[in-house]
Structure 1
Amino acid sequence: MIRIDIPADQAANPHGYAARAHGREIMAAADAFSKAVYQHSILSLREFEGARSRIAQINGCVVCQQFRAAKDAPSMFAATGVRPGHLVSDNGPAPDEAFYDAVEQWRTSPLFSPRERIAIEFAERFAEEPKVLADDEGFWERAHAHFSDAEIVDLAHSVAAWTGLGRVAHVLGFDSVCLPFMAGVE
């Protein structure tokens, strides 16, 4: 259920209406932050999508759970008419649907590499227990064994974008309506 008043003629895109009518500067900054994650991430696509998908599950964001970066990220930039020189979808092979189906079972599924498991674990714990994660020396030892500092900073900011902006979409009910760039997602 959408939690702000949306004119009937704008019901198909409540997020777009809110971006034009309310908090324009804040929503523009949020949009830029979100796009920066997809345009500049150095993580492999599978690491990125594992972490992103886990956050989508935790947040309950319907749109985010259906999003597939390899297929949908280029559409995020379609309004500009120019595809950026780099997108995260360029960072290796795309996960298949079995990958997405197994994300919630990341601890036991054989589909994930050690790096993918750490990325998913980081995302889950960032969203659910950030204070415990910050102090878990065992986790940080494992993370540093697999990720560079640049990759950890990338992952942390990506997870922050998905956690915060996904929760906004879910809480305000924007995820109850398919966003324009999601029109092709089933």
Structure 2
Amino acid sequence: MTPRLDFYTASPDALKAMLALDAAVSKLPLEKPLIELVKLRASQLNGCAFCVDLHSTDARKRGETERRLYAVAVWRESPFFTPRERAALAWTEALTRLSETHAPDEDYAQLAEEFSERERVDLTLAISTINSWNRLAVGFRKIPSE
């Protein structure tokens, strides 16, 4: 795969805005390991090799186990995730596949059981942000470095 363009240099102002949004999301009071799982799952669904590599590496640096990282792709069938993580992963899938799922009430109910109103908004913003990054990286063929 050949990169199409470097989106950072092609539109620095737009990327400054994305980086500012990403920095704001990173300061939200949600558990960092949970956010890494969400970023990883959205990136898997979107087929973003760069982001899968980045977020699995970041999760490992934060102490996440390889076993759980491998299981993110099959989290529904795996016993390794808490109810809160399961709610976040379900919501991630629902929003990442929005045209297919339309954010089902069942997923929202599960989310509401585990997250406060503010946390639901914060998590949704984190999911939206990683989906935006995925679209930039996939669209312009950003590849992980070896």
Determine what percentage of the aligned residue pairs are the same residue. Answer: 27
Return the alpha-carbon distance in structure 2 between the equivalents of residues 130 and 36 of structure 1.
27
For 1:149 and 1:130, how far apart are their aligned partners in 2? 24
The amino acid across from 2:4 in the alignment is R
Aligned ranges for residues 1-186 of structure 1 at < 5 Å?
1-4=2-5, 14=6, 18-20=7-9, 22-38=10-26, 40-67=27-54, 68-70=57-59, 94-129=63-98, 132-134=101-103, 136-174=104-142, 176-178=143-145
Contact 1:118–1:143 under 8 Å retained in 2? yes
| Structure 1 unmatched runs, 5+ | 5-13, 73-88, 179-185
Could you say which structure has the higher helix fraction?
2
Q: Secondary structure at the match of 1:41?
A: coil
**What do the CA deviations read for 1:126-159 (whole angstroms, capped 9, x no partner)?**
111357343x222222211110011111110111
Matched pairs, number: 143
How far, CA to CA, are the matches of 2:97 and 2:141 in structure 1?
21
Q: CA deviation at 1:177?
A: 4.3
The superposition leaves residues 109-141 of structure 1 with CA deviations (integer Å, 9 ceiling, x where unpaired) of 01000010111111111111357343x222222
Distance across 2 between alignment mates of 1:23 and 1:169: 14
TM value normalised by structure 2: 0.85
Conserved? CA contact 2:42–2:96, under 8 Å: yes
1:85 corresponds to: none
Greater Rg over alpha carbons, structure: 1
Letter in 2 for 1:19: Y
The CA distance in 1 between the partners of 2:23 and 2:68, in whole Å, is 23
- TM-score, normalised by the number of residues in structure 1: 0.69
What stretches of structure 2 of length at least 5 have no aligned partner?
Answer: none
